[in-house]
């Protein structure tokens, strides 16, 4: 009886693991032929230029793809290619006070991404991604607050890029 329980438990575990071995917990859907990706320079063409923004975006995109896939980052001839431009970096008031001053401001960043897939040309796209960060109207967007704002915006934009290119959402 004891031996039968052990055999039954082994069979159940083996069946469970065998049926789930190809599941990806990140939700990405990358073909088996795709092994590498590259992220080219993103030109900063926003009307308001924030120095280093293009470098920070490229690094954020590389890191999220490295963390959510098992693809290797290469400098050239990648199976997947990301490139594009930063098209918007804008600070604008979102709400006003009775004194006609900003009660809340919004930083908006938009990036146009060109995505190419050597193994699936139908998956390629040119798409604009944007997100924003709201902060108090009497605060200056400098130092740690600016770093936090840009980090949060890039987390959202890069996840949207990954979803569009690899998860096919």
What global pTM score does this model have? 0.80
* Percent share of the chain, pLDDT over 70: 80
Q: Tell me, yes or no, whether 115 lies in a domain.
A: yes
How do residues 36-51 score in pLDDT, each as one tens digit? 999 999 999 999 999 9
pLDDT reading at 28 higher than 70: no
Number of domains in the chain: 1
Structural domain boundaries enclosing 93: 27-167
The phi-psi region of residue 23 (left if phi > 0; otherwise alpha if psi is between -120 and 50; otherwise beta) is beta
CATH label of the domain that carries residue 113:
3.30.160.150
Q: Which token pair is 157? A: 């934009």
How do residues 51-105 score in pLDDT, each as one tens digit? 999 999 999 999 999 999 999 999 999 999 999 999 999 999 887 776 777 788 9
pLDDT averaged over every residue in the chain: 86
Q: Tell me, yes or no, whether 15 lies in a domain.
A: no
Q: How far apart are CA 145 and CA 93, in angstroms?
A: 16
pLDDT-based confidence at residue 9 (cuts at 50, 70, 90):
low
Q: Tell me, yes or no, whether 104 lies in a domain.
A: yes
Q: Are 82 and 114 in contact (CB under 8 A)?
A: yes
Q: Tell me, yes or no, whether 41 lies in a domain.
A: yes
* Percent share of the chain, pLDDT over 90: 67
Q: Tell me, yes or no, whether 12 lies in a domain.
A: no
Q: Tell me, yes or no, whether 59 lies in a domain.
A: yes
């Amino acid at each position: 009886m004891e031996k039968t329980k052990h055999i039954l438990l082994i069979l159940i575990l083996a069946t469970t693991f065998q049926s789930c071995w190809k599941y990806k917990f990140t939700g990405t859907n990358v073909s088996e032929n795709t092994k590498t990706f590259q992220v080219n320079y993103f030109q900063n063409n926003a009307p308001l230029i924030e120095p280093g923004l293009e470098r920070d975006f490229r690094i954020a995109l590389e890191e999220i793809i490295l963390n959510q896939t098992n693809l290797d980052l290469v400098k050239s001839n990648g199976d997947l290619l990301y490139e594009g431009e930063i098209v918007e970096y804008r600070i604008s008031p979102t709400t006003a006070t009775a004194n006609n001053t900003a009660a809340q401001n919004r930083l908006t960043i938009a990036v146009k991404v060109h995505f190419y897939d050597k193994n699936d040309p139908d998956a390629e796209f040119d798409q604009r991604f944007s997100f924003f960060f709201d902060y108090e109207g009497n605060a200056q967007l400098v130092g740690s607050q600016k770093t936090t704002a840009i980090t949060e915006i890039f987390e959202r934009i890069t996840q949207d890029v990954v979803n569009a290119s690899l998860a096919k959402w």
